[in-house]
Amino acid sequence: MNLKQLFYRLLLLICILGTGGKILFAQNSDSLYISPNNTSTPKQVTINNIFIVGNEKTRKNIILREMNLAENMTYNWDEFVALVTADQKKIYNLRLFTTATVTPLFVGEEQVEILVSVKERWYILPSIIFNLADRNFSEWWSNQNRDFSRVNYGIKLDHNNIGGRNEKLRVIGQVGFTQAILLNYTIPYFDKNQLHGLAAKFSYNTNKNIPIKSVGNKQYFYRNPDEDILKKTLAASLTYSFRGSFYNFHYFTAGYHNTWIHKDVIQEKPNYFTHDDQKLKYFLASYRYRHDNRDNVSYATHGTMLDASLTKYGMFGNDDIDELEFSIMASKYNKLGDKFHFATGISGSAFFSDNQPYTLVRGIGYKPDFIRGYELNVIEGQQLIAHKNSLRYEILDIAYDISDIMPIDEFSVFPIKLYLSGNFDHGYVRDANRLALNAALTNKYLLGYGLGLDLIGMYDAVFRFEYSVNNMGTGSFFVNVKAPI
């Protein structure tokens, strides 16, 4: 225990003793309770000081940026209770801490000190890449016959809190199905008022086996007999971000994209780029708005989220494309008592012309748009909408202290949450070209339903095990990662 931790523990003890046990605490992140020694609630409270403990690396201003509560401010009681709960969730959603609690301590009838206690995650995460190149596990297992040549492997380095300022660096070197180099650096704030940020990204990848079309609403992959590289892609972008309020973000991106394909690809699919050339190069610009007020950004049970963007592909006369795309995701999460919650979300996208290069083709089956029961399919078109719904019941919510066998403090607590989910999804894809090869599922109402188990583990990792049936009468078991909504 260092001097800083010792100081705050002494402060907590002094507050408890000095007020006869009169202490407020957060429970289940939803409510505040006064100790039995004082059953009345004040009409208002004034915050004297805000103390932060546990932030060994993270700078204090990064945490304070997430808080509405401020020193020397007076709040009415109901507002104060709501702000304590909201600030605790915002601090946790930085994804810098395994736990975050905001505890008000009474030092007078209407005077409180605020104690913010956090436990930091492990920020430097070198890891071995071993993942599937396909859209999901079920696609690889069923459609690609568990082909291990379709595996990516390499080295990834993530630093998620450079200098304690929540700056993020990702470096990837990858071989296997896709050979890739990626560099990504994000600065959430570069100004004193913590409003403006920047992000830079560079990637280069090559493939010897690529999807060139869909047949029967499934991807068709091509490789030539000589095992030549069929596609090379270089992309770079710079993003400026503005966060004017706690839950609202604005992103402005400018980028460059250059893709080369082998001549054999054009022979197999002459309209792969919609023009007779082996190169597709263009500049792009996009605006994105994001509102995120969820209790947990990895697996929400309460709150709202809206993410909308408008992207222009081709900014100058010599660019090889002139396209405009709009996309949107909107989700709402409602608690229905202590154990149940309901999640519903809409996602969609639209191009404003009837033909796109195959590298820009969208549809249900590609992230983030899917319908349960159609995990093995891609339903491609120019416009789509998907509506996903889940009624979930909490089966388990426990955390194991494994510090006896785990010497690293950041991994000393192993949490497990388990939810049973009843799911219903539906949607539609419009294909203006009405391709006969995919007519079974395009331009038709689609739905899927079923049951699932959602497992949430350490560092909010999500695993989903679902059995779903679609309106074609096909039922299958699917394994997925990440929350569906």
- Examine the fold and report which residue of 64, 95, 120 is the final residue of a domain before the chain moves on: 120
Cα 377 from Cα 380, distance rounded (Å): 9
| CB contact at 8 A, 207 and 230 | yes
Residue 40 backbone zone (phi > 0: left; psi -120 to 50: alpha; other: beta): beta
Give the pair of three-digit tokens for residue 262. 């082998």
Element (H, E) at 104: strand 97-106
- Residue showing tokens 């999901």: 136
Same domain assignment for residues 347 and 236: yes
Same domain, 68 and 182: no
Domain boundary among 96, 120, 144: 120
CA distance 148 to 144: 9
- Which residues of 86-195 form beta strands (DSSP E)? 97-106, 111-120, 124-132, 151-162, 167-176, 178-187
Cα first-last separation, the chain? 41
Residues 214 and 158 in one domain: yes
Positions of E strands within 216-322: 218-222, 231-242, 248-261, 279-294, 303-313
Q: SS3 for 359?
A: helix
pLDDT at 414: 83
**Per-residue burial over 156-169, b = 16 or more CB atoms within 10 Å of its CB, e = otherwise:** beebbbbebbbbbe
Q: Do 108 and 150 have their domain in common?
A: no
325, 308 in Cβ contact below 8 A?
A: no
How many CB atoms lie under 10 A from the CB of residue 306?
17
On whether both 153 and 105 belong to a single domain, the answer is no
Whether 34 and 148 map to the same domain: the answer is no
CA-wise closest residue to 177 among 133, 127, 226: 133
The stretches in the chain having pLDDT less than 70 are 1-39
* 263 and 320 co-located in one domain: yes
Phi, then psi, of 365 in degrees rounded to 5: 115, -20
Same domain, 116 and 130: no
Residue pair 170/189 in contact by the 8 Å Cβ criterion: no
172-229, pLDDT tens digit by residue?
Answer: 998 887 889 999 999 999 999 999 999 999 999 998 889 999 999 999 998 888 888 9
Q: Which two tokens stand for residue 75?
A: 């709040």
Please state, in angstroms and rounded to a whole number, the distance separating the CA atoms of residues 178 and 26.
47
* Residue where one domain finishes, among candidates 120, 152, 175: 120
- CATH number, domain of 176, equals 2.40.160.50
Q: CA–CA separation, 363 vs 381, rounded Å?
A: 6
Q: What 3-state class would DSSP assign to 397?
A: strand
Same domain, 104 and 129: no
Strands 44-53 and 111-120: parallel
SS3 444: coil
Q: How much is the CA Rg of the chain, to the nearest whole Å?
A: 25
The pLDDT value recorded for residue 4 is 52
Q: Does residue 141 sit in helix, strand or coil?
A: helix
Structure tokens at 81: 């209770």
CATH number at residue 83: 3.10.20.310
Tally of domains in the chain:
2
In angstroms, the CA 371 to CA 359 distance is: 22
**Three-state DSSP state, 265:** helix
Contacts of 114 (CB under 8 A, 6+ apart): 47, 49, 50, 51, 69, 102, 103, 104, 105
Q: Is 301 helix (H, G, I), strand (E, B) or coil?
A: coil
Give the model's pLDDT for residue 402. 83
The verdict on 180 and 95 lying in the same domain is no
State pTM to two decimals: 0.85
List, in sequence order, every beta strand (DSSP E) within 295-355: 303-313, 323-336, 340-351
Same domain for 236 and 351: yes
Whether 130 and 181 map to the same domain: the answer is: yes
Residue-number span of the structural domain to which 84 is assigned: 3-120
- Matching residue, tokens 């494994």: 402
Q: Which amino acid is at 41?
A: T
